[in-house]
Structure 1
Amino acid sequence: MSILDIRDLVIRTADGRTLVDHLSLSLAPGERLGLIGESGSGKSLTSLAVLGLLPEGMTMSGSIELGDTQIVGASERQLIRVRGHDAAIVFQEPLTALDPLMRVGRQIAEPLGRRRGLKGTALKRAVTAALEQVRLPEPERIARAFPHEISGGQRQRVALAMALACDPRLLIADEPTTALDVTVQSELLDLLDALVREREMAVLFVSHDLAVVAKVAERVLVLKDGRAVEEGAVRDIVNAPREQYTKTLVDSARQLESALVQRSGR
């Protein structure tokens, strides 16, 4: 049984341009799939479509079955029910994803209160536990802070804590490490790996960087211009890509990793 099953997904702009073209993919409970491609390949739009979060003016057709819910054509009430429960998302830039006028603790408390019915001391303890789980030091201080008062790496951990607060069966990670430096990026990937293993969650990991995807995913789907061009186990894609486009992505990842190693050795 699949936690996520996408069939013939088409995403179009208001003027009729096709941005995702008959895309199909399936994700089993506990499985990790990497969705990779260059900017504009349709990978982030696909991740947004799964939760019914496409930008205004865009339309989608086909089928997206998330658990027991058909997302295509779903009402806002249905979408609210699955967000956070069946699937949750972590975005690329947490400073824009978090409410700048709301303290961190309150932002985590909202889904916990809404979904779990927690109040008072129990809610406060759950917020602290959520921050501790993503390995944030001084969780009480972080809870009292506004997003701009903590670092980028800490903000991304807060966003991860919010996403995991209601124990979703699927975590969508949309370029979650792009805005972070190499050291913080590595720490966040290790944390993400540990948490999803512990919870046996499925993961849809979106990135343009195959080297990053290889640290998280078991299987990779390569997108180009909104179409799937290659799919397979991470090892097979990295060692023996069939398509020239995929080979270019592999070569770019190797060159970048080599440059980072040389820089760190200086």
Structure 2
Amino acid sequence: MSLLQVTGLTVRAGDAALVRDLSFSLDAGERLGLIGESGSGKSVTSLAALGLLPDAVTADGSILLDGHEVVGAPDRALRPLRGPVAQIVFQEPLTALDPLMRVGRQIAEPLRRHLGLRGAALKDAVASALSEVALPDARIARAFPHELSGGQRQRVAIAIALAARPRLLIADEPTTALDVTVQHEVLALLERLVADRGMALLFISHDLAVVARMTERIVVLRAGAAVEEGPVLDVLRAPHHPYTQALVGSARTLDAALDLPGGAS
């Protein structure tokens, strides 16, 4: 059984279809990318996978997360899955983190809820979680989100997402808000953690180069529908759908421009 099985998913906001008849699967330990332009349905799909769609948005079809049906399930039935089975890292950590809570307490919450840690064991686990994302300074745990840099905040968000040892990590454009140098560091961190823990990864991005680096297989979305799917290198080397061809062509044009003398200035 796949860890995540999406079948005929359609997501609507009123009369507008945000996702249309989408199907894909993700096995344990596999790395899958969802790629497409803004508004293609990538982030909506990630929210639907965890049952986090807003009340005004409805979903039809089926999403099986570790064998549990997500579509139509009450929130109380899905809470135990968010953490040990799957967790998400969002694009902008400053809005994802609680601005009024010190980051150590935010990391401690899933450790307490899902792993039952208390006292000294909880404090040690928080320190270990921060060290794992290359934030070993004890002052980080006492800081509020606004006191940290963008890269530090995203590392904290990753630490929170991984605290309960999920089998699936959903990364929704996790480096878009970061500068290029910090983006590389965060991607390298995610690569290492996913490999070390043997997690499945659903990586969402509009950046072909990033998706090619982070995933083994991709699904290309356009206007809420899948237009192409396959091993990432096969799709990038020989795209079949005109939309995928345009994406690849644009990326190659940009790479060629940057290779020109003065192009990266």
Common fold: TM-score over 0.5: yes
| Aligned match of 1:11 | 11
Kindly state the Cα deviation for residue 265 of structure 1 after the two structures are TM-superposed. 6.2
Q: Secondary structure at the match of 1:112?
A: helix
Alpha-carbon distance change, 259 to 88 in structure 1, aligned in 2, over 3 angstroms: farther
Alignment check: 8 A CA contact 2:175 2:183 kept: yes
TM-score, with normalisation over the residues of structure 2? 0.96
C-alpha separation in 1, matches of 2:23 and 2:184:
30
| Aligned match of 1:232 | 230
| 1:219 to 2:217 alignment | yes
Letter in 2 for 1:5: Q
| Aligned match of 2:127 | 128
- Offset from partner CA, 1:53-84 (integer Å, 9 cap, x none): 11220000100000021001111111111111
Kindly state the Cα deviation for residue 88 of structure 1 after the two structures are TM-superposed. 0.1
Alignment check: 8 A CA contact 2:6 2:25 kept: yes
C-alpha separation in 1, matches of 2:122 and 2:24:
37
Alpha-carbon distance change, 260 to 133 in structure 1, aligned in 2, over 3 angstroms: farther
C-alpha separation in 1, matches of 2:93 and 2:189:
16
Alpha-carbon distance change, 136 to 8 in structure 1, aligned in 2, over 3 angstroms: same
Kindly state the Cα deviation for residue 255 of structure 1 after the two structures are TM-superposed. 3.7
| Aligned match of 1:153 | 151
- Offset from partner CA, 1:141-198 (integer Å, 9 cap, x none): 1100000000000100000000000111110000001001111111111110110011
C-alpha separation in 2, matches of 1:260 and 1:74:
48
- Structure 2: which 5+ runs fail to align? none
Alignment check: 8 A CA contact 2:135 2:152 kept: yes
| Aligned match of 2:47 | 48
C-alpha separation in 1, matches of 2:264 and 2:172:
30
Q: Secondary structure at the match of 2:6?
A: strand
- Structure 1: which 5+ runs fail to align? none
C-alpha separation in 1, matches of 2:251 and 2:185:
19
Alignment check: 8 A CA contact 1:211 1:254 kept: no
| Aligned match of 2:183 | 185
The one of 241, 244, 263 aligned to 1:243: 241
% identical aligned pairs: 64
Kindly state the Cα deviation for residue 257 of structure 1 after the two structures are TM-superposed. 4.3
Q: Secondary structure at the match of 2:170?
A: strand
Letter in 1 for 2:11: I
Alignment check: 8 A CA contact 1:211 1:257 kept: no
Q: Secondary structure at the match of 2:23?
A: strand
| Aligned match of 1:195 | 193
C-alpha separation in 1, matches of 2:6 and 2:197:
23
| 1:171 to 2:169 alignment | yes
Q: Secondary structure at the match of 1:215?
A: helix
| Aligned match of 1:84 | 83
Q: Secondary structure at the match of 1:163?
A: helix
Say what the alpha-carbon RMSD is for the aligned residues.
1.4
C-alpha separation in 1, matches of 2:47 and 2:186:
22
Letter in 2 for 1:19: L
C-alpha separation in 1, matches of 2:52 and 2:217:
25
Alignment check: 8 A CA contact 1:7 1:25 kept: yes
C-alpha separation in 2, matches of 1:169 and 1:72:
20
Letter in 2 for 1:58: V
Q: Secondary structure at the match of 1:23?
A: strand
- Offset from partner CA, 1:111-157 (integer Å, 9 cap, x none): 0011111111110100000000011241x111000000000001000
Kindly state the Cα deviation for residue 90 of structure 1 after the two structures are TM-superposed. 0.1
Alpha-carbon distance change, 265 to 65 in structure 1, aligned in 2, over 3 angstroms: same
Letter in 1 for 2:153: R
Alignment check: 8 A CA contact 2:7 2:62 kept: yes
Kindly state the Cα deviation for residue 250 of structure 1 after the two structures are TM-superposed. 1.4
| Aligned match of 1:24 | 23
C-alpha separation in 2, matches of 1:134 and 1:261:
33
C-alpha separation in 1, matches of 2:56 and 2:246:
33
Letter in 2 for 1:83: R
Kindly state the Cα deviation for residue 254 of structure 1 after the two structures are TM-superposed. 3.0
